[in-house]
Amino acid sequence: MELVIGKMGDREIAVDAQELVTGRTCIIAQSGAGKSWSIAVLCEQLCKAGIGFCLIDTEGEYCSLKDRFDLLWVGSGDDCDLDIERVDLSELMENAIRSGTAVIYDVSETDMQEKVAGLATVLYDLESGLRKPYLLIVEEADKFIPQSGESVKKIEEISRRGRKRGLGLLVATQRPSLVVKNVLSQCNNQIIGKLSIENDLKAVSVFFGSKKEVEELSTLEPGDFFVMGGLMREKVKMKFSRRETEHRGLTPTLTPAKPGRQKKPRPPVSPPVQTAAPRPTPPAPPGDEAIVPVLIREEAIDIAKGKRRRRLPFLEPEERIVTAETIYWPLALVEVRYIGGLLRKTTKTASFLIELVSGHFAAVSRGMKILPGVAELVGLDETAVRAIAHLPSGGSTLPELEADLRQPPDVVKKAVKELEKRKLVTVVKAQGGATLYMPLLLHELPRFSSLRQVLEVKTEPLREPGRPVEIREADLRSILKALEPTLEITGWRTVYYPVYEIRFASADSERTLFLDGISGKELGLPARRER
Ligand SMILES: Nc1ncnc2c1ncn2[C@@H]1O[C@H](COP(=O)(O)OP(=O)(O)OP(=O)(O)O)[C@@H](O)[C@H]1O
């Protein structure tokens, strides 16, 4: 039997169902490259073909499959079919294997390791007797079978011995270099999408015949994957089909099932299993959010090792790495309104991300980019900001500036003195003896009409203190007001970004370097002692 999963140009691409269900398959791609989407497409096809599987859902994002298909959702909360804390797992899985029922095992609200270990053991033991084709799908495999740290041994055993029992394994990860090597090497089927981190490209290079193909991985679009191994007769690069059910990949919380839906009766699961007891769900207090890091500390240290300074080539670097700490850097997504347009009659909106330690703007997608923002203006008073914003590159005299700012001479003089002290203006004697004040800003001031930042990243509650915020809403408001008097801040969302702070020391000096916790690239952020 074949399952159609996508297209290569106009050609439909189908995989061998037997191989998928009883073989060992890995789906590998970086965050946002379409893993959850492709797993959902595979699940939809398996459901249509009536083939049983159990999907370990770590984010509570697959329950939308229930909108179209008859499957069991085991999890936490009233909307699930079965309460994960109370269900008799052996009974449930025996019935599911016998009847070919699909099960979503939603561990997003539980102690995942323990629940997944229990499930893997039950499935393996049951299949030792039943030997009926059934597929175990493990999302975020790097959490359960990590290269370093505690691994769910039963999953490793399934990867080695499951096939003979009819128990297949599909593991998905965004960080192949962090998954137990034995499991990936047992995967005779590979579905590999976009990857950019060097270590991960190295980890999958064994599956490719040429360096060129490995390099191509970093250029793939979301949904594009190489499919290889026993799933197909030949390696193909294809795009997964459109999903038939809603994609909730960006929503990490459990989503309630729609009321009043018409559904076919579920396959019998007997004897009846305990159902979830209603429990009160107190609203969680809104806390700070943090963007989930991709790089682990060991990798950050590896990257930092390559950045140690050396005086002479070929000699050992003289710098040591003294500390490597994860720092959560405060950012704010700011929404503003102001009067703009050609005739300055239209209300305009803009949004931007600003880091709240020094005032740089930031762009976040797969990693963070630091952009000139208002950092040079932080700490200036409102008239000084207005003065620097009004100074033309050719300079102004004090009386000209007083007229522009409509401020008395002593106020303007004070502002200019402040700018001089901060080296943001220089004083030049023009021909004829006039004193000109010329701006020395390193970067152009932001133009609001071009600011359109959105933030589409996965966040989790901030679990440790972030780097202290130094720019608050009121501080930013006074800078922005000085640049655009009609502007008002209409939205402010603080989010913390993961950064590794690496401290180097040599015999005579110390320095700090920041590495992006997602891309591993160096970030130009201010070190603590420098402020
Ligand atoms: N085959 C596809 N066709 C069209 N769009 C796709 C496809 N695959 C992925 N996308 C787009 O890419 C986005 C990200 O996909 P998805 O959530 O599956 O990524 P992911 O690899 O699971 O990310 P994460 O690891 O962060 O959960 C989707 O919201 C969707 O917009």
* Nearest protein CA to atom 1 of ligand 1, as residue: 223
Question: Does any ligand 1 atom lie closer than 6 A to the CB of residue 390?
Answer: no
Question: Does any ligand 1 atom lie closer than 6 A to the CB of residue 251?
Answer: no
CATH number of domain containing 429: 1.10.10.10
Last residue of a domain, one of 403, 422, 445: 445
> Which residue do the tokens 């003294």 mark?
322
Ligand 1 atom nearest 140 alpha carbon = 25
- Is residue 53 in a domain? yes
**Probe residue for ligand 1, chosen from 36, 56, 195 as the CB with the greatest number of ligand atoms within 8 Å:** 36
Tell how far the Cα of 425 is from the centroid of ligand 1, in angstroms. Answer: 49
- Is residue 366 in a domain? no
- Is residue 130 in a domain? yes
336 with 400, same domain: the answer is no
φ and ψ at residue 457, rounded to 5 degrees:
-135, 160
Radius of gyration for the alpha carbons in the chain, expressed in angstroms and rounded: 29
DSSP E strand boundaries for 125-260: 134-138, 167-173, 189-192, 224-229, 236-240
Q: Which two tokens stand for residue 37?
A: 């989407």
295 with 440, same domain: the answer is no
* Nearest protein CA to atom 16 of ligand 1, as residue: 34
414: left (phi over 0), alpha (psi -120 to 50) or beta: alpha
Q: Is the dihedral of CA 322, 355, 363, 255 positive or negative?
A: positive
196 with 115, same domain: the answer is yes
The DSSP symbol for 376 reads G
Tell how far the Cα of 196 is from the centroid of ligand 1, in angstroms. Answer: 16
C-alpha 238 chain-centroid distance = 24
Report pLDDT for 255: 31
- Is residue 268 in a domain? no
Distance between CA 527 and CA 529 in Å, rounded? 6
Report pLDDT for 473: 94
* Nearest protein CA to atom 29 of ligand 1, as residue: 249
C-alpha 393 chain-centroid distance = 41
- Is residue 246 in a domain? no
**Residue pair 436/396 in contact by the 8 Å Cβ criterion:** yes
φ and ψ at residue 40, rounded to 5 degrees:
-65, -40
Ligand 1 atom nearest 247 alpha carbon = 29
Residue 259, amino acid: P
Residue 38, amino acid: S
Question: Does any ligand 1 atom lie closer than 6 A to the CB of residue 28?
Answer: no
393 with 468, same domain: the answer is no
Tell how far the Cα of 291 is from the centroid of ligand 1, in angstroms. Answer: 18
Report pLDDT for 452: 86
101 with 222, same domain: the answer is yes
| pTM passes above 0.95 | no
Report pLDDT for 368: 93
Residue 483 pairs with which residues in a beta bridge? none
**Probe residue for ligand 1, chosen from 13, 26, 37 as the CB with the greatest number of ligand atoms within 8 Å:** 37
- Is residue 276 in a domain? no
DSSP output for 445-461:
PP-GGG-B------EEE
Q: Which two tokens stand for residue 57?
A: 């859902």
**Residue pair 5/41 in contact by the 8 Å Cβ criterion:** yes
CA angle 141, 145, 146 (to 5 degrees): 100
Distance between CA 192 and CA 64 in Å, rounded? 24
Report pLDDT for 511: 92
132 with 169, same domain: the answer is yes
Ligand 1 atom nearest 240 alpha carbon = 1
Tell how far the Cα of 505 is from the centroid of ligand 1, in angstroms. Answer: 42
313 with 461, same domain: the answer is yes
169 with 70, same domain: the answer is yes
Question: Does any ligand 1 atom lie closer than 6 A to the CB of residue 240?
Answer: yes
pLDDT by 10s per residue, the chain, length 531? 899 999 999 999 999 999 999 999 999 999 889 999 999 999 999 999 999 999 999 999 999 999 889 899 999 988 899 999 999 999 999 999 999 999 999 999 999 999 999 999 999 999 999 999 999 999 999 999 998 888 899 999 999 999 999 999 999 999 999 999 999 999 999 999 999 888 899 999 999 988 999 999 999 999 999 999 989 888 999 999 999 888 775 433 323 333 333 333 343 343 333 333 433 434 444 578 999 898 989 899 999 998 888 776 666 667 889 999 999 999 999 999 999 877 778 899 999 999 999 999 999 988 999 998 899 999 998 899 999 998 998 889 999 999 998 999 999 999 999 999 999 999 988 888 888 999 998 888 888 888 888 888 888 899 888 999 999 999 999 999 999 989 999 999 999 999 999 999 988 888 999 999 999 999 999 887 544
b/e sequence 301-312, b meaning 16+ C-beta within 10 Å: eebbeeebeeee
Does the bond joining 271 to the residue before it have cis omega, within 30 degrees of 0? Answer: yes
Distance between CA 198 and CA 207 in Å, rounded? 15
* Nearest protein CA to atom 25 of ligand 1, as residue: 31
Distance between CA 35 and CA 139 in Å, rounded? 9
Domain containing 425 equals 375-445
Axis-axis angle for helices 112-130, 153-161 (nearest 10): 30
Report pLDDT for 190: 96
Question: Does any ligand 1 atom lie closer than 6 A to the CB of residue 58?
Answer: no
528 with 421, same domain: the answer is no
Tell how far the Cα of 519 is from the centroid of ligand 1, in angstroms. Answer: 18
Domain count, the chain: 3
* Nearest protein CA to atom 2 of ligand 1, as residue: 223
The DSSP symbol for 306 reads T
Distance between CA 524 and CA 132 in Å, rounded? 56
φ and ψ at residue 250, rounded to 5 degrees:
-95, 5
Report pLDDT for 517: 94
204 with 175, same domain: the answer is yes
**Residue pair 174/196 in contact by the 8 Å Cβ criterion:** no
**Residue pair 503/304 in contact by the 8 Å Cβ criterion:** no
430 with 458, same domain: the answer is no
SS3 475: helix
Residue 388, amino acid: I
Question: Does any ligand 1 atom lie closer than 6 A to the CB of residue 143?
Answer: no
* Nearest protein CA to atom 14 of ligand 1, as residue: 32
303 with 430, same domain: the answer is no
Last residue of a domain, one of 187, 207, 240: 240
Residue 444, amino acid: E
CATH number of domain containing 229: 3.40.50.300
- Is residue 428 in a domain? yes
Axis-axis angle for helices 382-390, 473-483 (nearest 10): 40
Question: Does any ligand 1 atom lie closer than 6 A to the CB of residue 7?
Answer: no
Distance between CA 508 and CA 488 in Å, rounded? 49
Last residue of a domain, one of 413, 445, 477: 445
Report pLDDT for 31: 87
SS3 434: coil
- Is residue 152 in a domain? yes
